[in-house]
Amino acid sequence: MNHQQPRQATKMSASPPPVSGEGHLASRQRKLESMIRDPRSPVNVESLLDGLKSLVLDLDYPALRKNKNIDNFLNRYEKIVQKMRDLQMKVEDYDVVKVIGRGAFGEVQLVRHKTTQKVYAMKLLSKFEMLKRSDSAFFWEERDIMAFANSPWVVQLFSAFQDDRYLYMVMEYMPGGDLVNLMSNYDVPEKWAKFYTAEVVLALDAIHSMGLIHRDVKPDNMLLDKYGHLKLADFGTCMKMDETGMVRCDTAVGTPDYISPEVLKSQGGDGYYGRECDWWSVGVFLFEMLVGDTPFYADSLVGTYSKIMDHKNSLHFPEDVEISRQAKDIICAFLTDRDVRLGRNGVEEIKSHLFFKNDQWDWNNIRDTAAPVVPELSSDIDSSNFDDIEDDKGEGETFPVPKAFVGNQLSFIGFTYFRENLLLSDFPELSKKVEPCQNNGTKKNELRKNEDGEELIQFQEKINKLEDQLRNEIQTKDDLEQKYRAINSRLEKIMKELDEETSSRKHLESSFRQLEREKALLQHKNAEYQRKAEHEADRKRNLENDVNSLKDQLEDMKKRNQNSQISNEKITQLQRQLDEANALLRTESDTSARLRKNQTESTKQIQQLEANNRDLQDKNCALENTKLRLEKEFLNLQSALESERRDRTHGSEIIHDLQGRVLNLEEEVKNGKNTLAKVEAEKRQLQDKLTDLEKEKSNMEIDMTYKLKVIQQNLEQEEVEHKATKARLADKNKIYKSIEEAKSEAMKEMEKKLSEERTTKQKVENCLLEVEKQCSMLDCDLKQSQQKINELLKQKDKLSEDVENLTLKIEQETQKRCLIQNDFKMQTQQLNALKMSEKQLKQENNHLIEIKLSLEKQNNELRKERQDADGQMKEIQDQLEAEQYFSTLYKTQVRELKEECEEKAKLCKEIQQKIQELQEERDSLAAQLEITLTKADSEQLARSIAEEQYSDLEKEKIMKELEIKEMMARHKQELGEKDATIASLEEANRTLTSDVANLANEKEELNNKLKEIQERLAHLNEEENDLGLLRTQFEKQLAYERTMKTQAVNKLAEVMNRKNPIQRGADTDVRRKEKENRKLHMELKTEREKLTQMMIKYQKEINEMQAQIAEESQIRIELQMALDSKDSDIEQLRCQLQTIHIGLDNSSICGPGETETDDSFPGKICPSLFWKKRR
């Protein structure tokens, strides 16, 4: 406390307490806010939300709800957490396309986002499976690397979220598959191996630069994007390096074939190694690409590990595979001891190796060059480069219902991540408010007491009067504008209602058309079913006839062959055929019953559709009635609006209205032309479709007629053959034996031909059905297209009429506009003084626009005042007459002002003639006079061009006129003094004028030269730009040609190196099985080691428990013995007490002589009694 007091004193003296306290609190809050906003922070907003959700999930069990505090907490937060879960991203936001991978903890799915329609790979990790195993924290490293890597060599994580059962990671989809798939499909040449090894080196360098070691580099974890470039995935085995670039681990992590010796030595010991273990895996991967198998492959896992440990002697290159010297050198440099391994001093020594030298790419542009194999994709969800995986029908295990708090969800708090997180994002607000500041103060100059000053005052009074009159006019104009706005608002509402009605009507018409189409299809189906039923009935009749004929034959055979065994066999055969025919008859009857049922169902559907059709027609009629009513209201309002517009007689407003109408009409004409063009284009398209449909129909009819003819010919031929066979059978029936043989052969041929006839008949029927379907559909399309064409033609006629009417209206409006413009020009010449008022009008208009919202609220009141508008119209007419009277006054005043201006101009000319010989003052004054005169003239002529600048120019004009008057007075005084100097100045003036003329000529020449030079420069610049454009075009074309060439070469190499599919399938299956086998062996070994460790641990615990039990049993025996001794002592004391009681009783009975003998005994037992008392 003593040490802190001086610090506090210094703080108090440095700054006042409240300010420092507030500043300190603000800085702490900013730090806290930065922690919540930072996605890498453990307490960011997503982690806090995860914590609340996990707590609610872990507590929401019946056993835990018995606790009152937990129940209160859940009652408070359960609903809001459920709402929060519904609002956050969830698995229902994605459509699953296919499962493309499955592992021990879950699976990888190809998904499509429902709203954005983007394709992703989504990894599902089971929380239950991960918590079952001890090494389940791998997903944190994987999530952090993919989320924050920001490298083109790493698969990107777009979002991570969770529910109560799974963790979800939405990642970038790599449609090219992995390098295992590529190696199984192609014989990889050294050129390809060089490319992919270089990309793996760059990808690992990116991981190492993040301070991590991958530890499981293998082709399974190298994925290819849609351009064929490589990216690393599966970062579950990654580990953070310390300051020295090393990691410490006591378990061997990785795949057996790619694991390095130093990682293998770490199993069960103190493993300490660096990033060089990844470069070993790169060497194994390069060897596998060039040779086709890993360098240390063995039949057993022990053999593989022994070869890896003895890599100096076990590394051999096969003689039947061509490998360059540089490739062998780099593989040997990778597959060596860690102390001398390539890459131990950094990635630069790998990049500088001779193996990577080529003329197609370098380390900086490798990702921009064309890859050796670009995957051929049919769509964005093409998964042909991944193995087909069967759906997992079994449900995964879930957490059991706990009886106490377990905290299963706590391990996953903070897992949620979004790359584009919108929570707590800053939205810049525009806080700058423009406040218009107008300086209304005017400078007042002291006027001299002369005639000019009096005239100016009179002129100012006239201007004030005109301004008052103008204010009155503005008020009347405001009233008219309010009425106009009210009518416009009503008109807009009606237009909106009309648009809504038309849209609903269009929707109903489209649904009506859809129902009609469905009705036509159902009618077609009904007809088809009827035809099928008839056909089945015919078939049934034919079968019955066949059965009857077979029965007759059977009876004949029975009559003929009663005594022979062969005839009995034939009878049984015929009986079988009869049974089969009966079975066929039953199936045909079933199918006919089914078809009848379908027919009844289709009729019911048709009736329902007709009812729907009637309802839609009723709705359509109601909508048409409402549309007519709204159109009538619209016409009434238009007439009212036109009457209001007619009342507006002010010239400028009429011109603005007419200009707006002309622009609207021009836009309508343009729209009409556009719609006409669209209609014509649609008409052409429909006509083209019609012609195409007719052609297809004619082709189909020709094909079907030809097919029918061919089938008929075949049928006729078969019937002829059938008759011939029957004749032959009749001839052969004469002899008994020949009858039997011929009959058997004939029956076989009959069966074959019958089956062939049935198949051909079915084919013909199917073809006919398809043709009828197509014809009906084409007829429907034809009818619809004809209806559309008729409707479009009607619309075209209407639009053409509208266009003609609009053109007539435009011509009338243009004529009116020309007349009004002529009037306006006359008025502009007469109403120069009203410019100030017009500017004020504009300002007030802007002000009126700003208070439009308040005026809209008063619309209801204005509707009530509409009845009083007629009376006000009369007053407005009176005011208009007064305005006309005032306009005549204005004209007279303007004429007077013009005469005054002309007089002033004459005076100025006289002054200019007198003061031509003056020096610099004369020049400046003459220039100012000319400027003012030109400004006055330009202001009178150019009102339409510079309306906004008029007030400023008018002020300047007045000021200049005052200055001119002052200067004129001054010059009158100075004329007498300067008459003497005029003669000398005239000569100087002549010389100066000649010099000025010369200079002007020189200036013109220089200007001409400058223009020529500028034109040349512009021409040169244009040529240079053209050359630049040509150059860029040629460069683009050259780059395109190069890429096309490289792609063609790569494609050719891809085709050349593609393996035989049978061999490829067998090899891939064998290699996959071997890898899976090895992986399973590795897992089995690790599980065994874990089991042995667990057994040792449990054995130790059992031994300790047994020792404790033995000690406890010994203590128990000792305690039992002590208890037994105590019990014996108690028994002895009880016996002694009894003896004492007996002695006391005897002493009371006996005489006094015996008391001495009795008193001797208690002396012996005193100690025991004393001990008992103390106890």
What are the structure tokens assigned to 935, written together?
């400004």
Can you give the pLDDT at residue 310? 92
Using CA atoms, how far apart are residues 406 and 162, in angstroms rounded to an integer? 19
Phi, psi of 541 (to 5 degrees): -60, -45
| Helix or strand run (H / E) with residue 193 | helix 190-209
End-to-end CA distance of the chain, in Å?
56
Model pLDDT, residue 284: 96
Interaxial angle between packed helices 1061-1149 and 1155-1174, expressed in degrees from 0 to 180 and rounded to the nearest 10: 150
Dihedral sign, Cα of residue 521, residue 527, residue 533, residue 539: negative
What was the pLDDT predicted at 435? 38
Could you give the CA distance from residue 817 to residue 810 in angstroms, rounded to a whole number?
10
Strand partners, 125: 106, 167
Q: Among 616, 619, 617, which Cα is nearest to 501's?
A: 619
What's the rounded Cα separation, in Å, for the pair 173 and 225? 8
Give me the pLDDT at residue 1132, please: 83
Q: At 272, list the tokens.
A: 């300490």
With contact defined as beta carbons under 8 Å apart, do 181 and 100 qualify? no
Residue 172 DSSP SS3:
strand
Q: Which amino acid is at 823?
A: D
Helix H, strand E, coil C: the string for 243-301 is: CCCEEEECCCCCCHHHCCHHHHHCCCCCEEEECHHHHHHHHHHHHHHHHCCCCCCCCCH
User: Pick from 410, 396, 391: which is nearest to 104 by CA?
Assistant: 396
pLDDT the model gives residue 808: 80
Rounded to the nearest 5°, which phi and psi values hold at 840?
A: -60, -40
Q: State how far the Cα of 484 lies from the Cα of 1040, in Å rounded to an integer.
A: 63
Amino acid at 370: A
Domains and CATH numbers, the chain: 29-173+385-425 (3.30.200.20), 178-382 (1.10.510.10), 452-718 (1.10.287)
Separation of alpha carbons 37 and 143, rounded Å:
18
CA distance 948 to 944: 9
779 is catalytic: no
Amino acid of residue 17: P
Instruction: Extract the residue ranges of the chain whose pLDDT is less than 50.
Output: 1-19, 426-449, 1150-1175
Q: pLDDT tens, 120-132?
A: 999 999 998 888 8
Q: Which of 227, 218, 333 is nearest to 278 (CA)?
A: 218
User: What is the Cα–Cα distance from 155 to 151, expressed in whole angstroms?
Assistant: 8
- The catalytic position among 50, 58, 144, 216 is 216
- Length in residues, the chain: 1175
List the structure tokens of 11: 């703080």
**Could you give the 3-state DSSP secondary structure of residue 503?**
helix
Is 123 annotated to bind ligand? yes
Contacts of 983 (CB under 8 A, 6+ apart): 917
Q: Name the one residue in this structure whose structure tokens are 């009663």.
A: 562
Angle at alpha carbon of residue 346, lines to 345 and 349, rounded to 5°: 85
Containing 122, the helix (H) or strand (E) segment is: strand 119-126
DSSP run (H or E) holding 158: strand 157-162
